[in-house]
Chain A
Amino acid sequence: MTPGLPPIVRIFARFVPADLREPIAGDLAEEYAELRRHRGTLAATVWLWGQAARLAWAFRWERATRGRGLPPIGDELRSTSHMWDTIRQDVGFGFRMLRRQPGFAAVAIFALALGIGATTVIFSVVDAVLWRPLPYPAADRVMALAEQRPRESRWFGPVAPADFFDWRRDNKSFASMAALMVTAPSGAFNLTGAGEPERVKPLQVSPAFLAVIGVVPALGRDFLAEEEIDGREQVVLLSDGLWRRRFGADPSVVGRTISFNGNPFEIIGVLPPHFWWPSRPDVVVPLALDDHDRTLRAAHFLEVVGRLRDGVSPGQAREDLRLVGARLSQAYPAENANHAPNLRPLRDAFVGDVRPALLVLLGAVVFVMFIACANVATLLLARAASRQKELSVRRAVGATRSRVVQQMLTESLVVALAGGIAGLLVAAWGLAAFRTIVPAQFTTLPGIAAVGIDGRVLAAAFGLSALTGMIFGIVPALVASDSRIGTALTEEPRGSSGSVRAGRFRAALVVAELALSLVLLAGAALLIVSFRNLINVSPGFQPDQLVFTRLSLPGARYGQHARTVAFFDALYERLRAAPGLQRVGATTSLPFDGADSRLNLVIEHKTTAFPFPVRLHPRIVSTEYFQTMGIPLMRGRAFTGRDTDSTPNVVVINEAAARRYWPNEDPIGQRISLGATDDWRQIVGVVGDTRDEGLDAETDPAGYLPQHQVFLSLGNAFERTITVVARTTGDTASAASMLRTAVASIDPQLPIGLVRPMDELIGDSIAPRRLNFVLVSAFALVALVLTAAGLYGVMAYAVAQRTREIGVRMALGASRRQVLAMMFRQGGTMTAAGIGLGIAGALLLTRSMRSLLFGVSAADPAVYLGVSALLAAVAIIAVAVPSSRATRIDPLLALRE
Chain B
Amino acid sequence: MSSADVSALGEFEQVVLLSILRLGDDAYAVSVRDEILRCTGRDVSRGSIYITLDRLETKGYLRSRLADPTPERGGRAKRYYALRPRAVEALRDSRRALVALWRGLEGVLGHA
Which residues of A pack against B, CB within 8 Å?
1-3, 5, 16-17, 20, 22-27, 29-31, 33, 51, 54-55, 57-59, 62, 69-76
Contacts and interface: CB of A to CB of B under 8 A. Distances in A.
Nearest to B58: A70
A76 B16 CA distance: 12
A27 B29 contact: yes
B76 A72 contact: no
Contacts of B73: 2, 26-27, 29-30
Contacts of B75: 2
A72 B29 contact: no
Contacts of A62: 51, 54
A74 B76 contact: no
Contact of B76 (A23, A57, A59, A70): A23
26 contacts: A20-B54, A20-B79, A22-B76, A22-B77, A23-B29, A26-B74, A27-B28, A27-B29, A29-B72, A29-B73, A29-B76, A30-B73, A54-B46, A54-B47, A58-B48, A59-B47, A69-B2, A72-B8, A72-B10, A73-B11, A73-B13, A74-B12, A74-B13, A74-B16, A75-B10, A75-B12
Given A23-B77, A30-B72, A30-B73, 11 more contacts: A2-B73, A20-B54, A22-B66, A29-B73, A30-B30, A55-B47, A58-B45, A58-B48, A62-B51, A73-B13, A74-B13
Contacts of B63: none
Interface in B1-47: 2-3, 6, 8-13, 16, 28-30, 44-47
Contacts, number: 96
Contacts of B52: 74
A25 B29 CA distance: 11
Contact of B74 (A3, A55, A70, A72): A3
A76 B40 CA distance: 15
Nearest to B90: A72
Nearest to A77: B48
B38 to A, nearest CB: 16
A58 B45 CA distance: 9
A838 B54 CA distance: 59
A59 B49 CA distance: 11
A751 to B, nearest CB: 86
B76 A26 contact: yes
B55 interface: yes
A5 B72 CA distance: 12
A73 B11 CA distance: 7
Nearest to B77: A22
A58 B10 contact: no
Contacts of B44: 76
Nearest to A2: B74
Interface string B62-102: 00001001001111111100000000000000000000000
A23 B66 contact: yes
A29 B29 CA distance: 13
Find the residue from B3, B48, B72 having the highest chain A CB count within 10 A.
B48
A23 B12 contact: no
Contacts of B29: 23-24, 27
Contacts of B72: 29-30, 33
Contacts of A59: 47, 50-51
Nearest to A63: B51
B74 A29 contact: yes
Contacts of B79: 20, 23
Q: Taking each of A29, A57, A74, which has the highest tally of chain B beta carbons within 10 Å of its own beta carbon?
A: A74
B72 to A, nearest CB: 6
B79 to A, nearest CB: 4
B15 to A, nearest CB: 8
A9 to B, nearest CB: 10
B26 to A, nearest CB: 13
Q: Interface centre among B47, B48, B52, by most A CB within 10 Å?
A: B47
A5 B73 CA distance: 10
A55 B46 contact: yes
A564 B2 CA distance: 102
Contacts of B77: 22-23, 26
B47 A57 contact: yes
